[in-house]
Structure 1
Amino acid sequence: MATHQPHICHVVPPYLLSAIADNSNNENQIRESARHTLTLHANYIGKREKRFAALTKPRGSRTSAPANAHGRQGIVPDHILQHIADCEDVDDDTRACAKRDLEHVKNIHAKYQQQQAREETSDQKAAVAAKQPSDTTEKTYRAVYDAKHDSDEANLPGKVIRVEGQKASKDESANEAYDNAGHVLSFYYDIFNWKSIDNNNMHVISSVHFGRNYENAFWDPEAAQMVYGDGHNFLTNFTGAVDVIGHELTHAVTEHTSPLDYSGQSGALNEHVSDVFGIMIKQRVENETADKADWLIGEYCLMPGVKGVALRSMKAPGTAYNDPRFGKDPQPANFKDYKATSDDNGGVHLYSGIPNKAFYNASIAFGGYSWEKAGKTWWETLRSGQIAPRCTFIQFADVTVAKAEELFGEEAASTVRKAWDDVGVTRRSYTRTGKD
């Protein structure tokens, strides 16, 4: 297994932050820091919920697209392209592409402004906006910014540190965010022929050093970018874990494949999908087959002295940590322990462990690399058009079984069905009674 820096962390679930904030064994400073992080967490989770709710409204609804849907987010901002085109330490090929794309973007903006100037109906304007993604550049650009410890998301992304094709900076967090975003993009393109996070070469923006002592990392659905805190007492170095970036950027991929309402079982599936692709990306970077991998999400995230190994375990949900300062990992591994809750948008982080265990079961049963059969099955499930916005665990399971049979035959379908059966997500059997 590849060598890691010691304190790598993944996106932190709210139940863990709440436990830290509420535990009197922790110092007031630590509890206050957790409360602050929890407040910011609630803010971006609310954005995510609204984003997916808007995406999953019936087609044709005038309110079906968010106010700043990704129509023009797919076009790299002029200032980024200008910076790349003018930067002396950017490689010649990237600089030439940036100059070409800068001219292209200017033309697109001019056309867009001309179109806006015409008198059109609101439906016609919506149609124009819907066409914008097809005019994006053919190259995916990465850019990393310094948030300078500002916790106001209105000030994102911050000051540019490193852009596509530029040499490594002196800021190690920026270099990690840049390189690991590249690993995510390579995985999606090499394995699934998916270009960037929207299949249209959408640029990938990241901001490091967000807030002070901010112990989390997240995908901001409004700004359409990654945001990383530096961590503090328990959790730190989010940019160093490729599964952090893989998990969070996959939320954006989910927007463009099968948008799942971010609440209840569909929300847990949303989180599950991000864990699945995050763990596959990590395993690919480390060249690990399913049977050799540890299946830990947020490996090495806990600071020395904390009793635990990660934030989540896909192999054994509920065993990632057990520390008196923030309790025991609460994730159940079987659907028999599923209970409706109003916390955490209906337990989206809590109950993702159930389908996570099913994916682990399927990957181990298939053997080899997790993305070869299990991953391919889950990917085609997302791309099938058969996943409803309010999809339940059993509905999702049924589609994975069907896709496994289409891709690999009846034996593979039986393997996937058993993987779900073993976590309690089973088809009910009915016995007819009475006279026919």
Structure 2
Amino acid sequence: MTDRPSHPCGIVPPYLLAALTGHRDEAVAECARRSLERDRSLRSHRSATAPRTSSTTDHPVEHQGGIRAPHADDGTGPQRTIADAHGTQTTPGTTVRTEGQPATGDPAADEAYDGFGHTWSLFDQVYGRDSLDGRGLPLLGSVHYGTGYDNAFWDGTQMVFGDGDGTVFNRFTIALDVIGHELTHGVTEHTAALQYSGQSGALNESLSDVFGSLVKQRTLGQSAADADWLIGAGLFNAQVKGVALRSMKAPGTAYDDPQLGKDPQPARMADYVQTTDDNGGVHLNSGIPNHAFYLAATAIGGNAWEGAGQVWFDVLTGGRLPATADFAAFARLTVAAAESQYAVGSPQAGAIQAAWERVGVLAAGQVAGNAPGGGVGGGVGSAGDAPAGSSAPTATQVQVRRTGGLAGLRRARTVALDDLPDEDAQGWRSLLADDRLRELAASPPDRAVPDAFTYHVACPPDGEEITLPEHGIPEPVRDLFQRTLGD
């Protein structure tokens, strides 16, 4: 049995809710504060409990009317149950619709029911996966959660939908891709179980955006060229200057509103956001792999769920994607999967390779080969990485950056080792040759420090950039970094 960590993954990122706490309408600000506090409480509760195990050990789920079995055995289709929380924060609530029953007349309940069906259909009919766990897991959802709750999330066993504050946010069942997004967290949980922090967490969010978008595109009969590539279109009310939560086509352009601020998502690795907030920026930096998928899907053409979507699904469920994978590891696996499916040198594999190059995750001309299992936690990707535990080639120069702090300070220096004092040059050669940097990155500190400083170390021009939080670095190594920067 494999432990499957599960997190309440809300569609609305905490930085957006935090912006709303200063809204000029106090009722909206209060809804945002309550939503933000509820999300924090959920994350703390889930972190303190034992991780969810793989689908072979699913337990029965408490529900109105008693205990129901965790799996349906007839294999005839989705097994959906929609409950009404009646404005409370108790789930699941009162059952209002089960599989095969007619519409209730409640838009939220019926949208959730239909969205579950469309998501199940994508995974079952396109990819041959029976529900989220591959074994017919029933789909449970609760609507009307809380009062003015500005979010929707997958909690590891079910989906939960808020009704929104009514001023900034509509009800969260209104966007089909939001339902597909959240249920895909369940697929990820039962397959690669990507850790919800840093780049692996951003991949987790990106995969949910990818398949959420594919659910919407397939339901609407849209080709890759016809799709809007927006995530959460329809969630914002008319007063908001924005079209959606995120744009896969053009990350950073989904909204620009006086109250919400400007969409902060980057589209390229050059703009990768180093932060300790939001589990290391999982909702921010997901824009980079999102954009790579958009570029690959539109270059391949046709229906995105059949081309690039099949490749992304094969990587997610193929057993080679490690829980700590960074962008570069995932990218190499997608190119290798495309070469396996279509042939080496095929237009499809070339389109995927080119997409990752355009967003700066893979270096131009880098060959995927047999993709390694994954990168060092927090690395930003590279060409030609040496396997963990191997001796790195002797570097002639190093690049050191220090970022973070309350003021978002940044300092960087690239220096030839021969230009450093002999003692420092020898210190660097020892760090690199013995692979100590990778070992340090693979053993992060036990606690996160808000607004902490972070070091980023690489050996240009082609070396992997390794990220290490300052408070987790041994003092001699930290002193070496500081001397190299000239502090």
Residue 414 of structure 1 is matched in structure 2 by 350
- The correspondence for 2:196, drawn from 235, 248, 262, is 262
Q: Which residue of 2 aligns with 1:310?
A: 244
**CA deviation profile, 1:275-302 (whole Å, cap 9, x unmatched):** 0000000000110000111100011211
* Equivalent of 1:401 in 332, 335, 351: 335
Distance in 1, Cα, partners of 2:361 & 2:153: 29
The verdict on how the C-alpha distance between 1:246 and 1:225 changes in structure 2, with shifts beyond 3 A counting, is same
The Cα shift of 1:340 comes to 2.0
Instruction: Please tell me whether the aligned partners of residues 76 and 203 of structure 1 are also in contact (alpha carbons under 8 angstroms).
Output: no
Determine the C-alpha separation between the residues in 1 that align with 2:63 and 2:262: 48
C-alpha distance 49-357 of structure 1, shift in aligned 2 (>3 A): farther
* Amino acid of the structure 1 residue aligned with 2:28: I
- After superposition, the C-alpha distances for 1:2-25 in whole angstroms (9 at most, x for unaligned) are xxxxxxxx921111111111x3x5
Aligned equivalents of 1:214 and 1:381: distance in 2?
34
Task: Check the 8 A contact 2:64/2:94 in 1, yes or no.
Answer: no
How far apart are residue 378 of structure 1 and its match?
0.3
CA 342–170 in structure 1, closer or farther in 2 if over 3 Å, else same: same
Q: Deviations over 1:368-402 (max 9, x none)?
A: 00011100000000122111111100011000010
Count the aligned residue pairs: 356
* Per-residue deviation, 1:171: 1.7
* SS of aligned partner of 2:284: coil
The equivalent residue for 1:14 is 14
1:80–1:163 CA contact under 8 A, matched in 2: no
The aligned residue for residue 229 of structure 1 is 162
Per the normalisation by structure 2, the TM-score is 0.69
Query: Partner letter of residue 16 of structure 1?
Result: L
Greater share of residues in strand = 2
Does the Cα contact within 8 Å between 1:335 and 1:424 map onto a contact in 2?
Answer: yes
Structure possessing the higher relative contact order (Cα contacts under 8 Å, 6 or more residues apart): 1
Give the one of 172, 180, 192 matched to 2:107: 172
Say which SS state the counterpart of residue 170 (structure 2) adopts.
Answer: coil
Report the CA distance shift for 1:407/1:81 in structure 2 as closer, same or farther (over 3 A).
farther
1:423 alignment partner in structure 2 = 359
Q: Determine the structure 2 residue equivalent to 1:142.
A: 80
Give the unaligned 5+ runs of structure 2: 1-9, 364-381, 385-392, 397-487
Query: Counterpart of 1:91?
Result: none
The structural deviation recorded for 1:176 is 1.0
Alignment map for 1:340-379 (pairs within 5 Å): 340-379=274-313
* CA–CA distance in structure 1, aligned partners of residues 394 and 299 of structure 2: 34
- Counterparts of 1:433 and 1:13 in 2: how far apart (Å)? 40
Select the residue among 245, 250, 253 that pairs with 2:184.
250
Query: Helix, strand or coil: the match of 1:143?
Result: strand
- 1:291 & 1:159 partners in 2: Cα distance? 42
SS of the counterpart of 2:114?
Answer: helix
Aligned position for 1:115? none
Shift of residue 192, structure 1, vs aligned partner: 0.4
1:144–1:178: 8 Å Cα contact kept in structure 2? yes
What is the CA distance between 1:339 and its match in structure 2? 3.1
Q: How far 1:45 moved relative to its partner?
A: 3.9
Q: 1:48 to 1:269 in 2, by over 3 A?
A: farther
Alpha carbons of 1:160 and 1:254: their partners in 2 closer, same or farther (altered >3 Å)? same
**What does residue range 24-39 of structure 1 map to in structure 2 within 5 Å?**
26-39=24-37
Which AA in structure 1 matches 2:86?
K
Q: Shift in Å at residue 315 of structure 1?
A: 0.2
Amino acid at match of 1:148: H
CA-CA distance at 1:253 after TM superposition: 0.5
Alignment equivalent of 1:71, drawn from 39, 47, 57? 57
Q: Which residue of 2 aligns with 1:62?
A: none
Task: Give the TM-score of the pair, scaled to structure 1.
Answer: 0.77
Cα drift, residue 418 of structure 1: 0.8
| 8 Å contact kept, 1:314–1:356 | yes
Aligned residue identity for 1:200: R
- Do the aligned residues in 1 keep the contact of 2:144 with 2:162 (CA within 8 Å)? yes
8 Å CA contact 2:196, 2:279 repeated in 1: yes
Conserved in 1, the CA contact under 8 Å of 2:17 and 2:32? Answer: yes
Distance in 2, matches of 1:339 and 1:174, equals 37
Residue 377 of structure 2 corresponds to which residue in structure 1?
none
Q: Which has the higher helix share?
A: 1
Instruction: Provide the rounded CA distance (Å) in 2 between the counterparts of 1:433 and 1:260.
Output: 32
CA deviations on 1:92-147 (whole Å, 9 max, x unpaired) are: xxxxxxxxxx8xx6xxxxxxxxxxxxxxxxxxxxxxxxxxx7x7523442111110
Could you tell me how far apart the structure 2 residues matched to 1:182 and 1:168 are?
13
Please tell me the residue identity of whatever aligns with 2:137: M
Q: CA RMSD in A?
A: 2.5
**Structure 1: gaps spanning 5 or more residues:** 1-9, 56-64, 83-101, 106-132
Amino acid at match of 1:396: F
* SS, match of residue 202 in structure 1: coil
* 1:340–1:346 contact (8 Å) kept in structure 2: yes
Cα distance, 1:33 vs structure 2 = 1.3
Once residues 27 and 191 of structure 1 are traced to their aligned partners in structure 2, the CA distance between those partners, rounded to angstroms, is 45
1:29 deviates by: 2.5
